[in-house]
Amino acid sequence: MDPLTEALLMFAGRRDHLLEVIEPALARGDVVLCDRFTDATFAYQGFGREFDCVALQSLESLVQRTPSLPAPKIRQPDVTLWFDVDPAVAASRLAGVRVPDRFEAQPQEFFARVSKGYAWRMQQYRARFARINAEQGLEKVWQEVEAALRQRGFLP
């Protein structure tokens, strides 16, 4: 599929998710936890598929505008946890669990680019981005997550 067609479909899904699920939840005062958000779009479409990041930025600022924030502010996560793991380690972990989907089935060079995409976003959004070393065991990973949330005032 053409990467822009794919990006438009993803952003249509994101817009729907934002207005139908996330904004109402935030309005109720709920905590919203997303598996992936637009940082993943930059990592996978922008860097992984080497698609124009300027086009993605213009879609991001269009789609993440919301009536609950004064323009030009857009909805962004308060915290982004980047679970960074070597593609080979990720592949071997995944192999034990399920058949890879069409993103997961990409070659390892793809995931090396994806990782650079997350690093690029982290440079732009230092305050909310926490890189977690996800090659460690579960307990250590959790400790890093807790530390990242505590540091940003989301845990006592």
Shortest distance, position 84 Cβ to a copy of itself, whole Å? 30
Give the C-alpha separation, 82 to 65, whole Å: 23
Minimum CB separation from a copy of itself for residue 36, in Å?
18
Q: Which is nearer to a copy of itself, 12 or 69 (CB)?
A: 12
Give the separation between CA 79 and CA 114, rounded to whole angstroms: 19
Calculate helix-pair angle for 3-17, 53-63, nearest 10 degrees: 20
* Under 8 Å between Cβ of 122 and 129: yes
User: What's the one-letter identity of residue 4?
Assistant: L
Considering only residues 47 to 66 of the shown chain, the ones binding a copy of itself according to CB under 8 A are: 55, 58-59, 62-63
Residue 15 found at the interface with a copy of itself (CB under 8 A):
yes
Task: Report the Cα 97 to chain-centroid distance in Å.
Answer: 22
Segment lying near a copy of itself (by CB under 8 A), choices 14-22, 26-34, 74-82, 125-133: 14-22
- List interacting residues with a copy of itself (CB under 8 A): 1-2, 4-5, 8-9, 11-12, 15-16, 19, 55, 58-59, 62-63
